Structure 1
Amino acid sequence: MSSSNPRLTDRRLLLALTFVVAFCSIAYELVYSELLTVFYGGTVLRYSITIGLYLFSMGVGSFLSAHLDDPAGNFLRTEVYLALAGPAGAGFMIALNAFPDVTLTVGRLALKEPLTLGLAHVPILVVGLLSGFEIPLLNELVEHREETLFAALGGLYPRRIVRGALGVFFSVSEAEGRSFSEVLGVDYLGGLAGTVVYALVLYPRYGLVVSVLVLGLLNGLAALAFAAWSARAPAARGADRSFSLARWRGVVLAGLLLTGAYGGLVANAGAVDRAVTGAYMGDRIESEYQPGKAEVTVTGFERTRYQRITTYRRDVAGDPGTETCLRLDSAIQLCESWVDSYHAGLVDVPMSASLNRSGALPGANASFDVLLVGGGDYIAVDRLRDYGVSVDQVDIDGEFLDYSREESAFARYNDDAFEYDRLNTTVGDAYNYLRGSDKRYDLILLDVPGARSDDALSLYSTEFYRLLRGHLADRGVVATWAYSEYWFPQHHKAYVETVREAGFDRYLPYSVYEDPDGDDELERGERFYLLSDGPTPTPNVSRARSDYLDAVADRYERLDWRPVPAYRGVEPNSVFDPNYDVIVDP
């Protein structure tokens, strides 16, 4: 095999291009699937529909490609179109969902959400259609069987054994040179690489915005490489594959402009990601209020492997002053106005119900073990430090833990609690941590993200709550914040049924109270549950070490344990049999 053979070089380049275009096409669809999940929820549904539409539109493109002539020119045009359409499709989805939630009504039909959802799938069809053109066009360009890298690999596997195995099920013969099967094989390999690299490198490191720009850059480079090859080596293709660079000068210029633009944006990936995502998050947060009600300014944006961290200042009309807030992905985690009340509910109320063996609140020398799941801002740890308890903390996002240690917005609330000498922090998945541990805890606190996507299903499953129950000491209790049963009734029913199926037979619901509008009237805020499977003391907030609870102690005089209710016709959420009603739509 000699690399001086022009057709050999041609085929290598064309097969490399096949790999790149397949890589980009499938990765575009993964970006679109994730965007649809962010905007509309339902990970399984969004990915399933996206892949189905993609394959369908690829089939349509492949069918229509029979009407395309001039394979070289049309392949170049297709790559430039994809370089434009792929990133533009992502931008279209973001812009479509940045509009205020105003419902368009025609007759009795409310159109806003169905209309935007339908339009959001158009980029899937466009990219799929263009991708369907690629393989037939490339197959016409790679029409001669030569000694290529793929052909050379044929000598590396035991052909006789493979033919024998295939012969059990199929009629077989000696392998012949078929350019279509070779192109298709490289296409499938590129698709595999696209899914793996996107999942392990592009999305966790760069996020959706920069990832789609990287893909556009690769499509642009593929178009330019093909144009350069076509201009330099017309003889290698034969007279019937002539290519006039002058004829396609406009397309090549467009490819150059797109590639240059994407290259500049990717070179400044961090700034681009912060600018686009920060602006989008600011608009989305403002849209949660009535028009003109709130002014939001994003002050910081970081991305970890597991989530987006957005800090922002908000000024809500009628509320006293401006405050800093934190969001993880799209879910709000804390604001200055209620950070104290939230952590009093999460930590101080359950601590007031907890007794050590002597019947007193735990002290510095007491044996009292707490498991904190999540709590990466270390604010709950600071509260627990006041009680002198031992804390095992498990949080999957080590980058967020590092961020919290350095971010000044948290410093005034966690008081460097990460240096607490009775704290043991483990970076890892809580589900796996509990499966690998036999330790029992007097109190388990769940300071975890809400059930906003399929990624959180395991933390709201019967299997996870069984693990929690199995790690409780005698008279131990689980404390967690909860969505309101009035605002999210379907989630509430599925969650409660899950908890009951896991073996918890008693729960104690309570809320914290705030004065959000400064009128000296307390209003119900965050909701919490205590969970138990046996006799457990009722909270006595006068014993808690919390100035906030001292001020509102009268609100907690009638707390009482109740049987966990059962809802007819509602299934629990299980890892292996999920109930998607437990997910709260974004």
Structure 2
Amino acid sequence: MSDTNAVREPVFGVVTDRRVKLALTFVVAFCSIAYELVYSELLTVFYGGTVVRYSVTIGLYMFSLGVGAVLSSQLGDAESNFLRTEVYLAVAGPLGAGFVIALNSFPGVVFPAKATVTLALSHLPILVVGLLSGFEIPLLESLVDERDGSGLALVGGLPRRAVVGTLSTLFTTEPADNDPLSEVLGVDYLGSLAGTVVYALVLYPDHGLVVSVLALGLLNALAAVTFAGWTLSRFTIPRARPTGGRWRAVLLVGLLVSGSYAGLVANGETVDRVVTGSYVEDDIRADYAPGQVEVDLRSYQTTAYQRVTVYDRTVADRAGTERCLRLDHAIQLCDSWVESYHAGLVDVPLSAYGTENYADLDVLLIGGGDYIAVDNLREYGVAVDQVDIDGEFLQMGREREYLRQFNDGAYRYDRLNTTVGDAFRFLRGSDREYDLILLDVPGARSDDSLSLYSREFYGLLSDHLTDRGVVVSWVYSKYSYPVHHRAYVNTVRAAGFDRFAPYYVYEDPDADGDRERAEKFYVLSDGPTPTFELSRARSPYVDRHSDRIGPVRWRPLVRYRGVDPNSVFDPNYDIVIGS
């Protein structure tokens, strides 16, 4: 006569039980570390400082993991608590990302110490996910059956002997015991590695932050449901199954969360457009006083290197609505000043060369993926080498009508040679010298741009100039950004440049007939200084505004005391705007 209360042995045996639990270990570790990477990137989007954000996130995550591991000793039934933990993580992971976005999406709401409070609160999801993840290893250790031999037994005799032999030359060794902790930790670390790699190479570049965090939530919820189903399948008698009211409620939540995430991920493009569009618009408005600008998002796309946003803006006290292009947090161009910016970048410095020499000039353009600067250069017939790291943005310059209306098909210029790659690497691998180097690059808004504002980078630029060569870049105003300005000037001096020629371009943004200062440029030299003759510029804009732009004169580049230059190996974060 059978015992009706007997519990059936696992259907697939002890080895299969262990493998299911270890597979779950891999999945939950994958999700936990990827959640933290999402949070790091979100904090970078809102606050800048990539190195700081990722470093703080890792530190807080490791701290909260430790706290969770300590508190796990107070948890009871391992099976039900592991299920609860995974359901909580499935909810808290994506919800945490939404919390960070919402917290930073209301620029019009002002209260005392807002910046400090929102920054502190934005780190709460890191702690919550870390705390819950800290429960996982102790719970899984108690769930994984003791095993015969070590995990190395799975790899076969010869490899195992080779590994143990190598270890024995460096450490004292002894036969492995049956403690499953080392195996759970090994799989956990492997899952964390997979999470970082898949997030960096697949999830974020291909799907963006919003869809990525929803996919992670779905994976976490499915792990919880799988664990619950597998646990229930191991019991024969219904009343022996662990399906008390709370246990059953947690399972139901897991199923509901899984279904909800599945629906959101299936419509990921729409969800991403709504969520990302909202905070991108708020991010743009944050650059203005409350109520000063209206923003209508037209399109956005995240490449491997930057977020490309096209939007219409209507600014109070300015005539009409204009379309703008924004790269990450920095405006790249607007309808009203496309002409003035590129005239300042290209036409003014080229006026320093005699008209008969244009065809003999060699120009290096770093950045300029919209090809508008190339269009200006084409007017002079110069030879152009262009280097831009973002191949996707270059493709937009060739295909997007908004950019093509300004570049006039300049990507087909027969004296243009475009290289998709890192400018640092390009310069190190080339011995070619240039008469003119133009920097059409993003502003120093985050750690990602530190190398483009480093002593080493400007030193490479200097090494690639001909005797008469100069470097041209737009710069931030020293009045609006004095800390950045001092760090930038000392960095350029440390690279060998000792003279500069500053000038502004002018525009009439409010159409009141009064031209106002717009973009500022520096021409940098470490050798002979050519003379600017604005009448040589083949630019209607320069012809109209030469009286305001010129005369362009050379000045000695000052050095600020007590300000370190920015270096790749010794960064000065003052060069980052808002650092």
TM category, shorter: over 0.9
Alpha-carbon shift at residue 491 of structure 1 (Å): 1.0
The verdict on how the C-alpha distance between 1:156 and 1:349 changes in structure 2, with shifts beyond 3 A counting, is farther
SS at structure 2 position matched to 1:337:
helix
Partner of 1:568: 561
Partner Cα distance (1:432, 1:28) in 2: 32
Q: 1:457 aligns with which of 450, 460, 466?
A: 450
RMSD between aligned residues: 1.9
Q: 1:65 aligns with which of 56, 72, 88?
A: 72
Residue pair 2:505, 2:549 contacting (<8 A) in 1 also: no
**Does residue 439 of structure 1 match 2:432?**
yes
The code of the aligned residue for 2:242 comes to F
Partner Cα distance (1:155, 1:219) in 2: 36
**Does residue 344 of structure 1 match 2:339?**
no
**Does residue 43 of structure 1 match 2:50?**
yes
Residue pair 2:150, 2:177 contacting (<8 A) in 1 also: no
Residue pair 1:377, 1:410 contacting (<8 A) in 2 also: yes
SS at structure 2 position matched to 1:144:
coil
The verdict on how the C-alpha distance between 1:330 and 1:472 changes in structure 2, with shifts beyond 3 A counting, is same
Q: Which moved more, 1:512-521 or 1:248-257?
A: 248-257
Residue pair 2:491, 2:566 contacting (<8 A) in 1 also: yes
Alpha-carbon shift at residue 47 of structure 1 (Å): 1.4
Matches within 5 A, 1:151-166: 151-153=153-155, 155=157, 157-159=159-161, 161-166=162-167
Alpha-carbon shift at residue 423 of structure 1 (Å): 0.8
The verdict on how the C-alpha distance between 1:220 and 1:156 changes in structure 2, with shifts beyond 3 A counting, is farther
Partner Cα distance (1:436, 1:17) in 2: 47
Q: Mark the runs of 5 or more structure 2 residues left unpaired by the alignment.
A: 1-9
Partner of 2:194: 193
**Does residue 391 of structure 1 match 2:384?**
yes
The code of the aligned residue for 1:329 comes to D
Alpha-carbon shift at residue 154 of structure 1 (Å): 5.7
Give the TM-score of the pair, scaled to structure 1.
0.93
Partner of 2:5: none
Q: Which moved more, 1:563-572 or 1:278-287?
A: 278-287
SS at structure 1 position matched to 2:470:
strand
Partner of 2:226: 225
Deviations 1:84-127 (A, max 9, x none): 1001111111111112165523xxxxx11111111111101100
The verdict on how the C-alpha distance between 1:556 and 1:361 changes in structure 2, with shifts beyond 3 A counting, is farther
Partner of 1:250: 249
Partner of 1:112: 114
**Does residue 174 of structure 1 match 2:175?**
yes
Alpha-carbon shift at residue 331 of structure 1 (Å): 1.1
Partner Cα distance (1:324, 1:129) in 2: 45
Partner Cα distance (1:558, 1:102) in 2: 45
Q: 1:415 aligns with which of 390, 408, 418?
A: 408
Q: 1:80 aligns with which of 87, 93, 99?
A: 87
Residue pair 2:473, 2:522 contacting (<8 A) in 1 also: yes
The code of the aligned residue for 2:375 comes to D
Partner Cα distance (1:570, 1:475) in 2: 30
Alpha-carbon shift at residue 371 of structure 1 (Å): 0.6
Residue pair 2:307, 2:328 contacting (<8 A) in 1 also: yes
Residue pair 2:152, 2:160 contacting (<8 A) in 1 also: no
Alpha-carbon shift at residue 172 of structure 1 (Å): 2.1
Deviations 1:417-474 (A, max 9, x none): 1111111111111110111111111111000011111111111111111111111112
The code of the aligned residue for 2:281 comes to G
The code of the aligned residue for 1:463 comes to E
Matches within 5 A, 1:464-483: 464-483=457-476
Partner of 2:130: 128
Deviations 1:330-382 (A, max 9, x none): 111100011111001111111111x2xxx43445xx22111110000010010
Partner of 2:19: 12
Partner Cα distance (1:96, 1:51) in 2: 21
Partner of 2:4: none
Partner Cα distance (2:264, 2:439) in 1: 40
Matches within 5 A, 1:183-582: 183-234=184-235, 243-244=242-243, 247-353=246-352, 355=353, 359-363=354-358, 366-582=359-575
Count of residues paired in the alignment: 568
The code of the aligned residue for 1:72 comes to E
SS at structure 2 position matched to 1:124:
helix
Residue pair 2:506, 2:549 contacting (<8 A) in 1 also: no
Residue pair 1:80, 1:223 contacting (<8 A) in 2 also: yes
The verdict on how the C-alpha distance between 1:127 and 1:195 changes in structure 2, with shifts beyond 3 A counting, is same
Partner of 1:108: none
SS at structure 1 position matched to 2:355:
coil
Partner Cα distance (1:362, 1:273) in 2: 51
Partner Cα distance (2:153, 2:229) in 1: 25
Alpha-carbon shift at residue 180 of structure 1 (Å): 1.2
The code of the aligned residue for 1:499 comes to V
Give the TM-score of the pair, scaled to structure 2.
0.94
Partner Cα distance (1:319, 1:463) in 2: 42
The verdict on how the C-alpha distance between 1:517 and 1:227 changes in structure 2, with shifts beyond 3 A counting, is same
Q: Which moved more, 1:33-42 or 1:265-274?
A: 265-274
SS at structure 1 position matched to 2:560:
coil
Partner Cα distance (1:233, 1:403) in 2: 55
Q: 1:23 aligns with which of 30, 54, 77?
A: 30
Deviations 1:25-62 (A, max 9, x none): 11111111111122122222211111111111111111
Partner Cα distance (2:265, 2:306) in 1: 21
Q: Which moved more, 1:496-505 or 1:257-266?
A: 257-266
SS at structure 1 position matched to 2:296:
strand
SS at structure 2 position matched to 1:443:
strand
Partner Cα distance (1:268, 1:526) in 2: 42
The verdict on how the C-alpha distance between 1:154 and 1:36 changes in structure 2, with shifts beyond 3 A counting, is farther
SS at structure 1 position matched to 2:417:
strand
Alpha-carbon shift at residue 386 of structure 1 (Å): 0.6
Alpha-carbon shift at residue 162 of structure 1 (Å): 3.9
Alpha-carbon shift at residue 214 of structure 1 (Å): 1.4
Residue pair 2:14, 2:145 contacting (<8 A) in 1 also: no
The code of the aligned residue for 2:138 comes to P
Alpha-carbon shift at residue 174 of structure 1 (Å): 0.9
The code of the aligned residue for 1:89 comes to G
Q: Mark the runs of 5 or more structure 1 residues left unpaired by the alignment.
A: 106-110
Partner Cα distance (1:18, 1:568) in 2: 55
Partner Cα distance (2:451, 2:421) in 1: 14
Identity over aligned pairs, percent? 65
Residue pair 1:503, 1:533 contacting (<8 A) in 2 also: yes
Alpha-carbon shift at residue 151 of structure 1 (Å): 4.1
Residue pair 2:344, 2:521 contacting (<8 A) in 1 also: yes
SS at structure 2 position matched to 1:535:
coil
Residue pair 2:367, 2:440 contacting (<8 A) in 1 also: yes
Partner Cα distance (2:78, 2:156) in 1: 28
The code of the aligned residue for 1:514 comes to E
The verdict on how the C-alpha distance between 1:579 and 1:81 changes in structure 2, with shifts beyond 3 A counting, is same
The verdict on how the C-alpha distance between 1:293 and 1:68 changes in structure 2, with shifts beyond 3 A counting, is same
Residue pair 1:507, 1:530 contacting (<8 A) in 2 also: yes
Alpha-carbon shift at residue 311 of structure 1 (Å): 0.3
Partner of 2:59: 52
Alpha-carbon shift at residue 167 of structure 1 (Å): 4.0
The code of the aligned residue for 2:190 comes to L
